[in-house]
Chain A
Amino acid sequence: MASAFEYAPAPESRSVVDIAPSYGLFIDGEFVEAADGKVFKTVSPATEEVLSEIAQAGEADVDRAVRAARKAFEKWSALPGAERAKYLFRIARIIQERSRELAVLETLDNGKPIKETRDADLPLVAAHFFYYAGWADKLDHAGFGANPRPLGVAGQVIPWNFPLLMLAWKIAPALATGNTVVLKPAETTPLSALFFADICRQAGLPKGVVNILPGYGDAGAALVEHPDVDKVAFTGSTAVGKAIARQVAGTDKKVTLELGGKGANIVFDDAPIDQAVEGIVTGIFFNQGQVCCAGSRLLVQESIQDELLDSLKRRLSTLRLGDPLDKNTDIGAINSAEQLSRITTLVEAGEAEGAERWSPACELPSSGYWFAPTLFTNVTQAHTIARDEIFGPVLSVLSFRTPDEAVAKANNSQYGLSAGIWTEKGSRILAVAGKLRAGVIWSNTFNKFDPTSPFGGYKESGFGREGGRHGLEAYLDV
């Protein structure tokens, strides 16, 4: 349908960020070339423009970085907590100062709308460092006994969907507790982590405390396997998570895994429809649906299904897809050609299995990686699109009649990361929330995050929690 709102382009300026033509690995406080001289290119998914050439870490580089981190650990862990706290507070403040630059950078490298990097990612990144900074000198009071000790060198592997936010989730608690870090960002989004290296430099962080190794899965595997890594933290796919769990078996390595999800967003017949529609949109179209806790399964009570779907389709028709740097853009680009093809394959499976596909009229840009917001009706629990994580802007709609049926369907998943409940009845919220096997449950809201709040999954969505007091445990010898 023709939009009632025609907006003039309102692009954010790229001039606030200065991307160098090439970057090295960040090891022991220096940018260095990869040992074998390998490089790879990072592109803007919205335009396929090459943004920069990045040194590609290999096994030798992992070893070098772990040794630097081990060396730094001695002094860093011996530092009084109050001093470590001050470094983290500095980092938080520098992130706040440079947040516009980082937001534009993240949008360029990841493809997500500037609205989201500016208003969601960056404020949360700064908040995480600020929150964990305050823990550094209060660990005796965190509930893990007096004087809990750091583990040593943390090997951290993060995904491309929230590059800087995932970095913050991993690095802030690791440093606060006195560990040193070797972090591997995803190969499609290495830039913000390298800019973070510069922030560490500005903050005067001692050499070797944070090391950044852009690279592919082989570098991640080498990091996980390195005998001198004491702690492994991974966010990413369940398949890789299982491989890591096997890799660390029989070792002393402590592990936390934040893996996939297939979140159920349950709308009861007494829910405020307009609010629920907004929540459904946030649940599945935030970050182009490339969110492990996305509300990718909509469970709607049968009696309001038609009304809700009408409202939802009307709302989807007003979403603006296009230039991620445009401040009015709601839906940006898919992160990579590879991810786009994965989404396309699963959506084709949905059609082949008989589900009904719908998208609003939506023009896709001619270059870059794009996928229109999509919803499937006539979906059953047996459908691939109701079981597998799509990690894209694709919503599968199922219906239910009773609360018990909603709970049974919601829990019918190998995953258990998130869920949503929409109802005006408080007792129903509490009863249903109690029965759902998921680590995060949003009632009458969705996709809210906060550094004080533990986040993580049940079942095959992984183990351990990030955020809050609980997030400290992963980095302490307790």
Chain B
Amino acid sequence: MSEKNEKTDRFDRLSVFKTYKLYVGGKFPRSESGRVYEVSDTKGNWLANAPLSSRKDARDAVVAARKAFGGWSGATAYNRGQILYRVAEMLEGRREQFVREVADAEGLSKSKAAAVVDATIDRWVWYAGWTDKIAQVVGGGNPVAGPFFNLSTPEPTGVVAVLAPQESSFLGLVSVVAPVIATGNTAIVIASERSPLPALSLGEVLATSDLPGGVVNVLSGRTAEIAAPLASHQDVNAIDLAGADDVLAKELEIAAADNLKRVLRPQAVDYSATPGIDRMTAFLETKTVWHPTGSLGASGSSY
């Protein structure tokens, strides 16, 4: 972006600015409120005007995420893995753009930003490989003391509101979004308040990656303002508070109790380290299904 600004000083060609938009239900709306806010780099230079989402945008995103849930959670794990891998392919293709955006957002040198973007793409690939393995790792048959067959399977909890980390605008973002959707949930993501541009660009990548519309919805704006209606929304099943400070996190956790949302509290995370499976299991339910097997009693067969 800073490059773009430099170009505006030249007379031969004016660069084309991008109007950053939200990503909701597979479409790119402006905020219904018509509001924007200034996004600048770490030195204070203006980068773009990002949408300042409203409560209504948050509620629209919930509707989109709910609508997408049946199809996405019902897709085969293999299919979900294929689509997530395709996201990584698209990210790789836009690598230069993200390097620029991450460098501006986080005040990193080109090479450091490139390392962050590479790690982010690798992170996405890592989660793409999890879709068809998590059930084998955390589910399974239970040796019941009786004539029953009984199987525990993990299932997505539903619509998950994700407050993306504030500092790590891209690697942190992907580290909290990918596990939520890899397991079949749908997500409403609130981008880093100060550095929302990589998240909004991620929306463009997702739109071109065979990911059904509504599976991931990206909102930018004031985290506290957007998170409040999501935390109290009766059709949201879980909330990841990664991007909330302690005061906001407590407030949102109290609101989330109203329909017993699953809550992942903020915690110190090193996003550059290999993640465990916690961010996936936090948004999974375990379903245990029983069936009689018939038994061989003293009098012989009962089947």
Interface, chain A (partner B; CB < 8 A): 127, 143, 145, 238, 241-243, 245-246, 249-250, 257, 259, 414, 429, 433, 438-445, 448, 450, 452-456, 458-460, 462-463, 465, 468, 470, 478
Instruction: Flag if A440 contacts B290 (CB, 8 Å).
Output: yes
Q: For residue A442, which residues in chain B have a CB less than 8 angstroms away from its CB?
A: 289-290
A459-B158 Cα distance, complex, nearest whole Å: 9
A476-B157 Cα distance, complex, nearest whole Å: 22
Q: For residue A414, which residues in chain B have a CB less than 8 angstroms away from its CB?
A: 259
Q: For residue A243, which residues in chain B have a CB less than 8 angstroms away from its CB?
A: 257
Instruction: Flag if A441 contacts B249 (CB, 8 Å).
Output: no
Instruction: Flag if B257 contacts A459 (CB, 8 Å).
Output: no
Instruction: Flag if A453 contacts B276 (CB, 8 Å).
Output: no
Which residue in chain B gives the minimum CB-CB distance to A254?
A: B265
Instruction: Flag if B288 contacts A441 (CB, 8 Å).
Output: yes
Interface, chain B (partner A; CB < 8 A): 137-138, 142-146, 148, 150, 152, 157, 237, 246, 249-250, 253-254, 256-260, 262, 276, 278, 285-292
Which residue in chain B gives the minimum CB-CB distance to A251?
A: B250
Instruction: Flag if A459 contacts B253 (CB, 8 Å).
Output: no
A143-B281 Cα distance, complex, nearest whole Å: 12
Which residue in chain B gives the minimum CB-CB distance to A429?
A: B291
Instruction: Flag if A250 contacts B146 (CB, 8 Å).
Output: no
Known interface pairs A458-B157, A478-B278. Does A245 touch B137 (Cβ–Cβ under 8 Å)?
no
Describe B's contact surface by its main secondary structure.
mixed
Instruction: Flag if A448 contacts B290 (CB, 8 Å).
Output: yes
Known interface pairs A143-B137, A450-B146, A468-B152. Does A460 touch B259 (Cβ–Cβ under 8 Å)?
yes
A429-B254 Cα distance, complex, nearest whole Å: 38
A257-B290 Cα distance, complex, nearest whole Å: 22
Q: For residue A438, which residues in chain B have a CB less than 8 angstroms away from its CB?
A: 287
Q: List 7 A-B contacts (CB under 8 A).
A: A249-B253, A249-B257, A441-B289, A448-B144, A452-B145, A454-B142, A470-B152
Describe A's contact surface by its main secondary structure.
loop
Q: For residue A452, which residues in chain B have a CB less than 8 angstroms away from its CB?
A: 142-145
Which residue in chain A gives the minimum CB-CB distance to B152?
A: A454
Instruction: Flag if A249 contacts B250 (CB, 8 Å).
Output: yes
- Whole-angstrom distance between the Cβ of B138 and the nearest chain A Cβ: 7
Q: For residue B152, which residues in chain A have a CB less than 8 angstroms away from its CB?
A: 453-454, 468, 470
Which residue in chain A gives the minimum CB-CB distance to B147?
A: A445
Q: For residue A440, which residues in chain B have a CB less than 8 angstroms away from its CB?
A: 287-288, 290
Q: Which of B157, B259, B286 has the most CB of A within 10 A?
A: B286
Q: For residue A454, which residues in chain B have a CB less than 8 angstroms away from its CB?
A: 142, 152, 286, 288
Instruction: Flag if B257 contacts A445 (CB, 8 Å).
Output: no
A448-B289 Cα distance, complex, nearest whole Å: 11
Known interface pairs A441-B288, A444-B291. Does A242 touch B258 (Cβ–Cβ under 8 Å)?
yes
Q: For residue B253, which residues in chain A have a CB less than 8 angstroms away from its CB?
A: 245, 249-250
A419-B142 Cα distance, complex, nearest whole Å: 19
Q: For residue B246, which residues in chain A have a CB less than 8 angstroms away from its CB?
A: 250
Instruction: Flag if A443 contacts B278 (CB, 8 Å).
Output: no
Instruction: Flag if A453 contacts B288 (CB, 8 Å).
Output: yes
A243-B260 Cα distance, complex, nearest whole Å: 10
